[in-house]
């Protein structure tokens, strides 16, 4: 009996040791499984591209507007445009000759300059043949701060030029024409045309070429005006959108960086077809113009016009803001042919003919 009592602690010790060994083996096994699980390669996960309504919401709204017109037998807004503005307006691309505009030349006066290290306002103005004061006037934010390297400045070297430019009429030479037939057409003489273009009366004309002819000068003016004088912070084309994780997205307009609350203007005469709130572009205004052209103004702090209002080129229609998805205050500006997004920089360079008998104010 005494022997059994003496041996019982030993048996308990052996059992405890066995239990401890078992627990140790189990823990090692579990650890090994964890290590293997971590080492095992995980299956590739497909990254879902974030969706954002900003890129399509303007398309959808404009499509909805013109779809209603197509489904109707009466385009009320077009009738209003014709009645108010007597609109027979269209972009004009005169022949590429001396003294005329050409499509390639359109918009060359309105360019941007990216600020480089060590540049000054004086040096930039001198480069473009401008006065420093004119450069600052076109980029008013420079009144209160220095130049920032890498920013884009608006450069309009023709800011002092007249809004309407006179161009000498041109005639394109057709097969079989000579100075005599052309002179009769324009009710003048061969000598007058020859002197005007600096050739002899006996010169043989080449088909397809253009020559100046006497007559009243043709007047051209800019079709669209800049809605606000501010540097371009984002251009038309593909860019990375910070609101969708840096994925590339096509930017269908220009972003013009201006101070919060800066007034902006209608780029052209027209009728307001939308004035409201959108998810991505915040407060927006759409203005319809002649020839189914539409201008869009987005991220506005406040809209100062409502749907159905008639607006004139240069009229204040809103204030620059940062509503919707915007990293800072700016005006998002688009030019469209119905749903088709056009490059605003190209459209801002378009010229049109001022009809004879109209003054500048009437033509607008």
DSSP string, 81-117: HHHHH------B---SSTTS--GGGTTTTEEEEEPPT
State how many domains the chain has. 2
Confirm whether 236 is domain-assigned: yes
Same domain, 273 and 195: no
Note down pLDDT in tens along the chain; length 364 residues. Answer: 444 545 555 555 666 677 777 666 666 555 544 444 444 443 433 334 444 445 588 999 999 999 888 877 778 888 888 887 764 444 443 333 333 333 333 344 446 677 888 888 888 888 877 888 888 877 777 787 788 877 777 776 444 433 455 556 778 888 888 888 888 888 888 888 888 788 888 888 888 888 877 766 566 788 999 999 999 998 888 777 666 665 667 889 999 999 999 999 999 999 999 999 998 899 999 999 988 999 999 999 999 999 999 999 999 999 999 999 888 999 999 999 988 899 998 899 888 776 554 544 444 4
Same domain, 278 and 184: no
Residue 9 is inside which H or E element, if any? helix 2-39
Q: What CATH number does the domain containing 332 carry?
A: 2.70.70.10
Confirm whether 302 is domain-assigned: yes
Confirm whether 144 is domain-assigned: no
Same domain, 331 and 304: yes
Confirm whether 194 is domain-assigned: yes
Residue 351 is inside which H or E element, if any? strand 351-354
Query: Could you give the CA distance from residue 150 to residue 217 in angstroms, rounded to a whole number?
Result: 43
The per-residue DSSP string of 127-172 comes to HTT--HHHHHHHSGGGGSS---TTPEEEEETTTTS-SEEEE--EEE
Same domain, 233 and 317: yes
Q: Which two tokens stand for residue 231?
A: 């540097």
Same domain, 258 and 324: yes
Q: What CATH number does the domain containing 188 carry?
A: 3.10.350.10
Distant-in-sequence, close-in-space partners of 162: CB < 8 Å, separation ≥ 6 = none
User: What pLDDT shows up at residue 46?
Assistant: 37
Domain boundary among 216, 251, 282: 216
Range of the domain at 191: 169-216
Domain boundary among 159, 192, 216: 216
Residues facing 111 on adjacent strands: 155
Which residue do the tokens 């995980």 mark? 42
Same domain, 228 and 82: yes
Same domain, 236 and 270: yes
Same domain, 195 and 340: no
Other beta carbons within 10 Å of 224: 23
Same domain, 241 and 173: no
pTM of the model: 0.56
Same domain, 232 and 344: yes
Confirm whether 149 is domain-assigned: no
Confirm whether 117 is domain-assigned: no
Q: Is 24 helix (H, G, I), strand (E, B) or coil?
A: helix
Query: Could you give the CA distance from residue 250 to residue 54 in angstroms, rounded to a whole number?
Result: 11
Confirm whether 202 is domain-assigned: yes
Same domain, 305 and 246: yes
| DSSP 8-state symbol, 321 | B
Domain boundary among 216, 251, 273: 216
Confirm whether 50 is domain-assigned: no
Of 161, 157, 160, 158, the C-alpha closest to 113 is 157
The b-or-e profile of 70-90 (16+ CB within 10 A means b, else e) is eeeeeeebeebbeeebebebe
Same domain, 293 and 342: yes
């Amino acid at each position: 009996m005494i022997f059994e009592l003496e041996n019982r602690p030993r048996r308990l010790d052996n059992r405890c040791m066995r239990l401890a060994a078992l627990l140790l083996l189990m823990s090692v096994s579990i650890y090994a499984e964890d290590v293997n699980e971590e080492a095992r390669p995980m299956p590739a996960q497909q990254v879902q591209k974030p969706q954002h309504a900003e890129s399509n919401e303007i398309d959808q709204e404009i499509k909805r507007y013109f779809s209603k017109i197509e489904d109707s037998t009466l385009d009320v807004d077009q009738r209003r445009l014709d009645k108010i503005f007597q609109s027979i307006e269209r972009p004009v691309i005169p022949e590429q000759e001396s003294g005329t505009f050409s499509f390639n030349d359109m918009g060359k006066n309105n360019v941007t300059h990216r600020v480089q290290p060590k540049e000054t306002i004086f040096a930039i103005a001198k480069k473009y043949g401008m006065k420093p004061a004119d450069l600052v006037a076109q980029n008013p934010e420079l009144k209160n701060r220095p130049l920032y390297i890498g920013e884009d400045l608006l450069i309009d070297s023709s800011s002092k030029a007249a809004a309407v430019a006179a161009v000498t009429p041109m005639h394109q030479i057709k097969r079989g024409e000579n100075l005599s037939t052309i002179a009769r057409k324009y009710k003048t003489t061969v000598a007058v045309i020859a002197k005007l273009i600096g050739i002899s009366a006996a010169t043989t004309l080449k088909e397809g070429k253009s020559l100046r002819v006497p007559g009243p000068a043709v007047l051209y003016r800019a079709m669209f005006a800049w809605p606000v004088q501010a540097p371009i912070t984002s251009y038309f084309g593909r860019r990375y959108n910070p609101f969708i994780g840096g994925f590339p997205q096509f930017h269908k307009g220009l972003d013009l960086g201006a101070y919060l609350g800066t007034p902006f203007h209608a780029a052209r005469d027209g009728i307001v077809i939308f004035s409201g709130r959108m998810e991505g572009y915040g407060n927006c205004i759409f203005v319809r113009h002649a020839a189914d052209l539409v201008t869009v103004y987005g991220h506005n702090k406040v809209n100062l016009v409502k749907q159905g209002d008639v607006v004139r080129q240069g009229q204040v229609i809103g204030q620059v803001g940062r509503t919707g998805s915007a990293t800072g205050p700016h005006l998002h500006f688009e030019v469209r042919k119905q749903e088709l997004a056009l490059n605003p920089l190209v459209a801002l360079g378009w010229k049109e003919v001022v009809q004879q008998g109209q003054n500048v104010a009437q033509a607008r």
